[in-house]
Amino acid sequence: MNTATGFDWLHGRGGYAYGKALKEDARRYYGCRQGFGAQGTMVPNDDTFCELDPKMKDQWGIPVLRFHWKWSDFELRQVLHQQKLIAELLSAMGGKFSGPPETADALKVIRAGGAVIHEVGGAIMGERRPNSVTNRWGQTWDVKNLFMADGAPFASTADKNPTLTIMALAWRAVDHLIEERQKGNL
Ligand SMILES: Cc1cc2nc3c(=O)[nH]c(=O)nc-3n(C[C@H](O)[C@H](O)[C@H](O)COP(=O)(O)OP(=O)(O)OC[C@H]3O[C@@H](n4cnc5c(N)ncnc54)[C@H](O)[C@@H]3O)c2cc1C
SS (H, E, C) the chain: CEEEEECCHHHCCCCCCCCHHHHHHHHHHCCCCCEEEEECCECCCCCCEEEEEEEEECCCCCEEEEEECCCCHHHHHHHHHHHHHHHHHHHHCCCCCCCCCCCCCHHHHCCCCCCCCCCCCCCCECCCCCCCCECCCCEECCCCCCECCCCCCCCCECCCCCHHHHHHHHHHHHHHHHHHHHCCCC
Q: What is the pLDDT of residue 10?
A: 53
What residues have CB less than 8 Å from 27, skipping those under 6 apart? Answer: none
Among 96, 117, 138, where does a domain finish? 117
Do 7 and 98 share a domain, yes or no?
yes
Do 130 and 106 share a domain, yes or no?
no
What's the whole-model pTM score?
A: 0.80
Identify the residue whose C-alpha is closest to ligand 1 atom 31.
Answer: 150
CA of 94 to the centre of ligand 1 (A): 40
- Ligand 1 neighbour 117 (Cβ under 6 A): yes
* Total of domains in the chain: 2
Q: Which residues of the chain have pLDDT under 70?
A: 1-15, 31-32, 99-103
Q: Which atom of ligand 1 is nearest to the CA of 58?
A: 41
Among 117, 143, 159, where does a domain finish? 117
Average predicted confidence (pLDDT) for the chain: 86
Domain that holds residue 176: 120-186
Do 26 and 80 share a domain, yes or no?
yes
Do 142 and 182 share a domain, yes or no?
yes
